[in-house]
Structure 1
Amino acid sequence: MNEPPRLPGGGFAAWSRDRLGVARRGADECGDVWQLESGVYVAATAEPCEAVLRRAQDFPKAPSPLFPPLKRSSGAPTPEERAHAHAARMRGLRAQAVAARIGEIAPRTARCADQWPTGQDVEILPLVRHALAEIGVHYLFSEDAPALLPFASQLFLAREVLVRPSRWAWPRWIPTPARRFRTRQQAAFTDALRPVVRRRRSSGRLGDDVLGQMLRPSSHYGPLPEEAVLDTLPGITVATFETPSRAAGWILLALARYPQAADRVAAEAALLPADPAATTSAHLDSLQYTQALVREVLRLHPPSWLLTRRVARRTQLAGYTVDAGSTVLVCPYTAHRDAREHSDPDQFRPERWLGDADSPAKPGVFLSFGTGPHGCEGAALAMAMLTLLTAQTARRYHLSEPPGPEPSYQVATFEGLATVGLRLRATLRSREQSRFQ
């Protein structure tokens, strides 16, 4: 059988010590697809990564939701109900829906920037995560968001506890303390959300937020059962701020490390309305360099840097044969460094995403939000949040890393690519500086 090559000195032991280093070495030494262990393959470059993500029938996503349906006498939602719930959510998350609500997102990103303590080294991710949670929960639940935000924060904590690295991979049926904690927090969130759903339905005021879209009867299906609405919302609630928070850490670090790029973002952001609530999708579209910087950071540091897929049937991948039941690890981190797709792939160059004369006509593959049938539902919302947060921060501050030999953060790779403990210092930028840089 024509199997992908094994990486010399690779394997799970080396992988657990340095995931990013082994991933880079595998791509450099073995090429498009390589074998980590027997039956575990890594799609390392752009073409096989895209192929796996788009060929969902051959490479399905593992059915392991972080928040599985709660056990109830009425039973879990059926696959058909879950599919209709997904379609209903997407009505509120597609790009046009996000564009219509930019005026709600912008004030909260501005408030986050305003709350940054100046003149001191601050661990910034907790502040950013709270701000993005407020934005995400408000986007989903509008006026009911304040009551639901504490429960959403506990859901995030339950996820953090559950995915913490452990020496033991317990079978899913074992009720470990972390799983029991998750179930309690999921039940508490559901119990808080249930009266909101019933009140909206009984009053007929369904709302224009994502929850309102889920409560609207479909012309083909009718109204979603209550349990299908409730059971599919914990995961998307956490997702609206968890992954963007990881991304925000890398973006803010880039503003500190590339001051000329930060100056260009600040000059662009100076043209935003003085009242953030007056910000529209046209203003967001005008932040072209800011969006390019966000995309470039996400290219170099994709928050979901490794995606897992199962092989449904024996098939071909990049000219190799992979057996049914195998695992394929899709690696956007190395795919984004494929020199066939991106010139100078290790260089930070936001201009590559612009239509400038000096930039390539084809900027290259971009998998930070996935692609294919299981691409990120909230990609448009995440880009809006991150772009406005970047603009509002650079508009107000110069950022810098703490002086000294110690790094200002640690790189975490277990669940996603994150800047754990990131500390930065903000210094006020004068209005003239931001406008005329």
Structure 2
Amino acid sequence: MSAALTERVESPPGPKGNWLSGNLPAFRRDRLGFLTECARTYGDVVAFRLGPRKMMIVNHPDLVEEVLVTNNRHYIKHFSLRMTEKTLGNGLLTSEGDFWRRQRRLAQPAFHRERIAAHAEVMVAFTERMLQHWHDGAVYDVQEEMMRLTLEIIAKTLFDADVSGSSADLSAAMETVLRCFTARVNTLIRLPYFIPTPNNVRLARAVKRLDAIIFEIIARRRASGEDRGDLLSMLLNAQDENDGDRMTDRQLRDEAMTLFMAGHETTANTLTWAWYLLAQHPESEARLHEELDQVLGDRAPTLADLPRLPFAEHVITESLRVHPTVWLVGREAIVPTVVGGYRVPVGTTVYMSQWVVHRDPRFFDDPESFRPERWQDGLMKRIPRYAYFPFGGGPRICIGNNFAMMESVLLLATIAQRFRLGLQPGTKAKLMATMTLRADGGLPMVVSSRRGLST
């Protein structure tokens, strides 16, 4: 255990920065590299500044647990997330306090294991529909393909809506939102949204496109009056315990937008990185194909097959370790508190980076390497609880974590059963750390039919 976990001092060490911008230029240039270097140079608790904002990053699982679990009531979501209000409004990801607890309670039943299990057939069917348009030897932007697929799945399973005709437009708008968010975080002086800067104009147009589609889904459901047993029906029919009020269209929009963004973006990126990593590790790819051939043969995977596809699950687990879709979580102190023996003043943001902790050699052998087999002998039980936290943790752990894992494994199995995905010579993905970890500029890959089943 490092000294930072036991030593009690006022302020943690950290890199010196510019008197005005602090460490923002270095953070802006290479977010992942900056946080990694902070951990390597200064240890388990590091202080730095992004402009006027005081930041800390904790790099040990025990300290992550201290922030997310033990002392979670000392914190709220961090300042960057509050910059998403233009897009996400006051949804599950951004809301706080009693309102958040109420919304979480209303949404939780939609993510119970029994209910999400019923979505397995939809996930596989939508994937097979996509594969009907794949051709042997063709090149596809796999990130774009996964984005469209997971968007259509989340719309169908949670809102019983068919967005196949507008999925490309939705995905493009969401990517614009993420790029605008990144640009705003990277800026020292943030102008109000009503000032028509190029970034604000792009954001406004993207949000308008998203709103049009989501409000249309809500309006159609209100007009039909149907209770389809999905998340949208639950939210529409929910009544406040005190005054009996139901959600406004705006509240419904905020929750729908949050789940659209979080529910498809993360899974799509997880699968994108899984294909990228498998293409560079043919031995792992061959083992995955062997498992799928033995368990499935030529038939489509089902929910019942998942316990018999452990290596497929390990591929997803390891992809989330090496290239964590959610690469950073943060909390802002609302009362004076302490982490790792260091004082955390009110208003300080404490970051915890999956990218950093998941690659720590104290907890993972050969941490830079993609080795799905490392999980097969109970590694999860041997490492500290928060050495691996792809979905966050504590009361605000991702509400859809089980949904995302089931979807990721089923989609991986359905696609890998039919196709191999290979990198074009010289292709190297460029990491883009926005709200999620994306491949900047997409990821073109060559698909090769495994059984001559492509059309």
Aligned AA (1:224): R
Q: Hey, what's the Cα distance between the residues in 1 that align with 2:207 and 2:248?
A: 19
- Kindly report which structure 2 residues correspond to 1:311-390, keeping only aligned pairs within 5 A, or say none: 311-355=333-377, 361-364=381-384, 365-390=387-412
Is residue 5 of structure 1 aligned with residue 13 of structure 2? yes
Displacement after TM superposition at 1:292 (Å): 0.9
Aligned AA (1:246): N
1:49-71 CA-partner distances (Å, limit 9, x unpaired)? 23222232112113627355899
Contact 1:165 1:414 (8 Å CA) reproduced: no
Q: Hey, what's the Cα distance between the residues in 2 that align with 1:216 and 1:273?
A: 44
Aligned AA (1:195): A
What is the aligned partner in structure 2 of residue 395 from structure 1?
417
| 2:388 alignment partner, SS class | coil
| 1:47 alignment partner, SS class | helix
Contact 1:162 1:182 (8 Å CA) reproduced: no
Displacement after TM superposition at 1:157 (Å): 4.5
Aligned AA (2:60): T
| 1:343 alignment partner, SS class | coil
What is the aligned partner in structure 1 of residue 75 from structure 2?
59
1:370-400 CA-partner distances (Å, limit 9, x unpaired)? 1112221221222122112221222222332
Displacement after TM superposition at 1:253 (Å): 0.5
Q: Hey, what's the Cα distance between the residues in 2 that align with 1:272 and 1:12?
A: 50
Is residue 97 of structure 1 aligned with residue 115 of structure 2? yes
Displacement after TM superposition at 1:369 (Å): 0.9
1:394-428 CA-partner distances (Å, limit 9, x unpaired)? 22223322124xx4321112332222221222222
| 1:328 alignment partner, SS class | strand
> Taking structure 1 as the reference length, what is the TM-score of the superposition?
0.84
Q: Hey, what's the Cα distance between the residues in 2 that align with 1:344 and 1:122?
A: 32
Q: Hey, what's the Cα distance between the residues in 2 that align with 1:78 and 1:224?
A: 19
Q: Hey, what's the Cα distance between the residues in 2 that align with 1:338 and 1:408?
A: 23
Is residue 33 of structure 1 aligned with residue 30 of structure 2? no
What is the aligned partner in structure 1 of residue 257 from structure 2?
234
Q: Hey, what's the Cα distance between the residues in 2 that align with 1:219 and 1:326?
A: 34
What is the aligned partner in structure 2 of residue 250 from structure 1?
273
1:150-183 CA-partner distances (Å, limit 9, x unpaired)? 7744652552353252564424553531343244
Is residue 43 of structure 1 aligned with residue 55 of structure 2? no
Q: Hey, what's the Cα distance between the residues in 2 that align with 1:81 and 1:200?
A: 28
Q: 1:229 to 1:179 in 2, by over 3 A?
A: same
Query: Which of 282, 305, 312 is equivalent to 1:290?
Result: 312
Q: Hey, what's the Cα distance between the residues in 2 that align with 1:78 and 1:369?
A: 18
Is residue 214 of structure 1 aligned with residue 235 of structure 2? yes
Contact 1:132 1:241 (8 Å CA) reproduced: yes
What is the aligned partner in structure 2 of residue 189 from structure 1?
213
Contact 2:239 2:245 (8 Å CA) reproduced: yes
| 2:436 alignment partner, SS class | coil
Aligned AA (2:350): V
Query: Which of 172, 190, 208 is equivalent to 1:170?
Result: 190
Is residue 299 of structure 1 aligned with residue 321 of structure 2? yes
Contact 2:158 2:230 (8 Å CA) reproduced: yes
Q: 1:3 to 1:114 in 2, by over 3 A?
A: farther
> Taking structure 2 as the reference length, what is the TM-score of the superposition?
0.81
Contact 1:402 1:424 (8 Å CA) reproduced: yes
What is the aligned partner in structure 1 of residue 290 from structure 2?
267
1:330-358 CA-partner distances (Å, limit 9, x unpaired)? 111111123333333223221222236xx
Aligned AA (1:42): I
Q: Structure 1 unaligned segments of length 5 or more: list them.
A: 72-76, 432-437
Aligned AA (1:25): E
Contact 1:408 1:424 (8 Å CA) reproduced: no
Does 143-152 or 109-118 show the bigger shift? 143-152
Displacement after TM superposition at 1:260 (Å): 1.6
Q: 1:68 to 1:15 in 2, by over 3 A?
A: closer
Is residue 140 of structure 1 aligned with residue 140 of structure 2? no
Identical counterparts, % of pairs: 24
Aligned AA (2:267): P
Q: 1:235 to 1:31 in 2, by over 3 A?
A: same
Displacement after TM superposition at 1:241 (Å): 1.1
Aligned AA (2:290): A
What is the aligned partner in structure 1 of residue 5 from structure 2?
none
What is the aligned partner in structure 2 of residue 20 from structure 1?
32
Q: Structure 2 unaligned segments of length 5 or more: list them.
A: 1-8, 90-94
Does 38-47 or 375-384 show the bigger shift? 38-47
**Residues matched between the structures, number:** 418
Does 418-427 or 155-164 show the bigger shift? 155-164
Contact 1:193 1:230 (8 Å CA) reproduced: no
| 2:10 alignment partner, SS class | coil
Q: 1:82 to 1:144 in 2, by over 3 A?
A: farther
1:242-298 CA-partner distances (Å, limit 9, x unpaired)? 12222222111112011121122122223237553xx44221232211111101110
Q: Hey, what's the Cα distance between the residues in 1 that align with 2:287 and 2:87?
A: 47
- Kindly report which structure 2 residues correspond to 1:391-430, keeping only aligned pairs within 5 A, or say none: 391-404=413-426, 407-420=427-440, 421-430=442-451
Q: Hey, what's the Cα distance between the residues in 2 that align with 1:67 and 1:314?
A: 26
Q: Hey, what's the Cα distance between the residues in 1 that align with 2:88 and 2:411?
A: 35
Aligned AA (1:286): R
Contact 2:127 2:149 (8 Å CA) reproduced: yes
Q: Hey, what's the Cα distance between the residues in 1 that align with 2:167 and 2:159?
A: 10
Displacement after TM superposition at 1:317 (Å): 0.7
- Root-mean-square deviation (CA, aligned residues, Å) is 3.1
